[in-house]
Amino acid sequence: MIGLGISEGDISSRGLAAMGNADEILVERYTLPVTDSYIELLEKESGKKIKTVIRKDLEDDVKKTLEKAIDSTVVLLVPGDPLVATTHQTVLDTAREMGIGIEVYHASSVFTAAIGESGLDIYKFGPTTTIPFWSSKYKPTSFIDTVKRNLENNQHTLVLLDVDAAANKTMSATDALALLRKAEEKKGQVIHESKRILILCEIGAEGQTILYTETGSTKLQRLEKRLEGKRTCLIIPAELSFAEEKLVSAFTL
């Protein structure tokens, strides 16, 4: 299981070497998008064709997928750092149950990169949450509960945004903020009173953008088109220390 990191080319030299020795190479692109150009680069570097697997292959049919590795060496390429997503922990656990040896090659992750780039103290973060896309029959608000608990404990919250792999769509900052407001309305309470947040786009990649702004900022609305389609996460900060205030001031919109 080899991590691809958060940006094109972030795979380690050890990971590339392992790809070269593989009988088959699979990649999942649904937990985070992986560009076609990155896949082409990896195929060129490894000299191997790469096959895309879908969520069903690693969840419902995980045993069937892992059977490939009983008598051969199979690589599973994973965006980010391999064991951050629960899906990949399940793959690891199932492989062990089937008696299949597995090695993990770690890589960069949004968890450390986003927090590090933000200038906030990593030790002051509470649990992370994700804002999922809403549909007519699915309108979850549990992410608000995580934010509320963290703020009550004076902890910052890293908020990941949903990816719709089937539609090749990533949630924008504007969409996420709208869902935050809708969730608050559904709960009948205001969770995040200060309304000042960090928006982090394309962290670790060319075109990286970090904004520290109020959620209703007209400047933010004018930047909406520029941020659209970019990989984005949010940080909802609790009370900032003097050092944190100074560091995030560089991103004030």
Mean pLDDT (the chain, rounded): 91
Q: Is 85 found in the same domain as 38?
A: yes
In a domain, 11, yes or no: yes
Which has more confidence, 121 or 231? 121
List all residues 6 or more positions away from 38 whose beta carbon is below 8 Å from its beta carbon: 4, 8, 9
**Which pLDDT does position 206 carry in this prediction?**
84
Q: Is 125 found in the same domain as 195?
A: yes
List all residues 6 or more positions away from 225 whose beta carbon is below 8 Å from its beta carbon: none
In a domain, 103, yes or no: no
**Which pLDDT does position 192 carry in this prediction?**
66
The CATH number of whichever domain residue 177 belongs to comes to 3.30.950.10
- Segment 69-88 mean pLDDT: 93
Q: Are 36 and 166 in contact (CB under 8 A)?
A: no
pLDDT tens profile 24-44: 999 999 888 888 999 999 999
**165 pLDDT more than 80:** no
In a domain, 105, yes or no: no
Q: Is 122 found in the same domain as 18?
A: no
**Which pLDDT does position 196 carry in this prediction?**
85
Q: Is 188 found in the same domain as 63?
A: no
At residue 137, what is the residue type? K
Confidence of residue 16 (pLDDT cuts 50, 70, 90): very high
The CATH number of whichever domain residue 8 belongs to comes to 3.40.1010.10
Q: Is 165 found in the same domain as 71?
A: no
**Least confident window among 145-159, 166-180, 196-210:** 166-180
Give the residue from 97, 132, 152 where a domain finishes.
97
Q: Which domain holds residue 188?
A: 110-251
**Which pLDDT does position 5 carry in this prediction?**
94
Domain count, the chain: 2
**Which pLDDT does position 153 carry in this prediction?**
96
Q: Is 238 found in the same domain as 126?
A: yes
Q: Is 118 found in the same domain as 88?
A: no
Confidence of residue 77 (pLDDT cuts 50, 70, 90): very high
Q: Is 245 found in the same domain as 131?
A: yes
